[in-house]
């Protein structure tokens, strides 16, 4: 079974995954929970990180996440890169994996394109290297990697998992956030691919959108 949810911002939005709200007794490590970014477990390398990494490792399922803007990207990049289900991941824990940008994974017979990252809108209140990292946005290298992998699949995937959404989707969400170089990069990819469903987080709403897109926050749904 593959489940998917929105931002966790560990520990701020972890309650949806606490056993009282999300009993996982029926799941095994061969089941997956995908988090659409802002995971928040690789933040400062402190005991906070260690506690929550271990917390996810102790769950009955395997946790997969794309990165959001609220991650420590340089620290994330220090984790070992491992080939997993056809794409590259950072192995945070044995069963907690970061789906790297532009990679495509084959899971339970479906393909998943990972497009992490987003542009923070509050950097004036943040400190570079402590609470904000410029690697948060999709780079040209990330884009080249995504296109390189998509080309091998004739630009067709079953699912797209991103943190933010393509620029043209923003008005439909009613987001106060404006388009930026990151959403434009997602837009550029959107224009070139075919997909069955596209899931993303970042906007803190649960909303079904046109073009088979869905924004997730508290909702935990099954990917079918
Ligand atoms: Fe975010």
Q: How far is the CA of 167 from the centre of ligand 1 (A)?
A: 15
Mean residue pLDDT across the chain: 97
Work out the angle between the directed axes of helices 181-190 and 140-151 (0-180°, nearest 10): 10
**The predicted structure's pLDDT at residue 98:** 98
Q: pLDDT, tens digit, for every residue of 64-106?
A: 999 999 999 999 999 999 999 999 999 999 999 999 999 999 9
% of the chain surpassing 90 pLDDT: 95
pLDDT band at 123 (very low <50, low <70, confident <90, very high): confident
**The predicted structure's pLDDT at residue 175:** 81
Provide DSSP, 115-135.
E-----S-GGGS-BTTTB-GG
**The predicted structure's pLDDT at residue 177:** 86
Q: How far is the CA of 1 from the centre of ligand 1 (A)?
A: 26
CA–CA separation, 129 vs 149, rounded Å? Answer: 30
CA–CA separation, 52 vs 154, rounded Å? Answer: 38
**The predicted structure's pLDDT at residue 139:** 96
pLDDT band at 202 (very low <50, low <70, confident <90, very high): very high
% of the chain surpassing 70 pLDDT: 100
Q: How far is the CA of 135 from the centre of ligand 1 (A)?
A: 13
Q: How far is the CA of 63 from the centre of ligand 1 (A)?
A: 18
CA–CA separation, 44 vs 31, rounded Å? Answer: 29
Q: How far is the CA of 215 from the centre of ligand 1 (A)?
A: 12
pLDDT band at 158 (very low <50, low <70, confident <90, very high): very high
Q: How far is the CA of 22 from the centre of ligand 1 (A)?
A: 22
Token output for 204: 């803190």
Q: How far is the CA of 169 from the centre of ligand 1 (A)?
A: 16
pTM for the predicted model, two decimal places:
0.97
Q: How far is the CA of 218 from the centre of ligand 1 (A)?
A: 14
Per DSSP, what are the bridge partners of residue 206?
A: none
Q: How far is the CA of 95 from the centre of ligand 1 (A)?
A: 23
pLDDT band at 23 (very low <50, low <70, confident <90, very high): confident
Q: How far is the CA of 38 from the centre of ligand 1 (A)?
A: 5
Q: How far is the CA of 118 from the centre of ligand 1 (A)?
A: 6
Q: How far is the CA of 110 from the centre of ligand 1 (A)?
A: 26
The structural domains of the chain, ordered by start, are 2-222 (3.60.21.10)
Q: How far is the CA of 37 from the centre of ligand 1 (A)?
A: 7
Token output for 85: 């289900």
Q: How far is the CA of 45 from the centre of ligand 1 (A)?
A: 20
Q: pLDDT, tens digit, for every residue of 124-135?
A: 899 999 999 999
Torsion of CA 206, 215, 16, 31, to 10 degrees: 140
Q: How far is the CA of 85 from the centre of ligand 1 (A)?
A: 26
């Amino acid at each position: 079974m593959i489940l998917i949810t929105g931002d966790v911002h560990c520990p701020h939005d972890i309650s949806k995954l606490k056993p009282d709200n999300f009993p996982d007794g029926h799941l095994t490590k061969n089941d997956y929970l995908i988090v659409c970014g802002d995971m928040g477990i690789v933040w400062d390398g402190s005991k906070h990180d260690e506690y929550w990494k271990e917390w996810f490792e102790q769950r009955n399922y395997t946790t997969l996440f794309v990165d959001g803007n609220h991650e420590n990207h340089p620290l994330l990049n220090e984790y070992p890169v491992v080939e997993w289900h056809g794409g590259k991941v950072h192995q945070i824990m044995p069963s907690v994996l970061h789906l790297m940008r532009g990679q495509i994974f084959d899971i339970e017979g479906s393909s998943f394109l990972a497009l992490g990252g987003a542009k923070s809108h509050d950097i004036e209140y943040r400190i570079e290297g402590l609470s904000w990292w410029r690697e948060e946005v999709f780079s040209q290298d990330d884009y080249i990697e995504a296109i390189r992998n998509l080309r091998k699949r004739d630009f067709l995937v079953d699912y797209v998992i991103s943190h933010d959404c393509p620029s043209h989707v923003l008005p439909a969400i009613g987001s106060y956030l404006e388009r930026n170089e990151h959403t434009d990069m997602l837009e550029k990819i959107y224009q070139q691919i075919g997909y069955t469903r596209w899931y993303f987080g970042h906007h803190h709403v649960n909303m079904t959108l046109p073009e088979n897109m869905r924004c997730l926050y508290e909702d935990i749904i099954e990917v079918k």
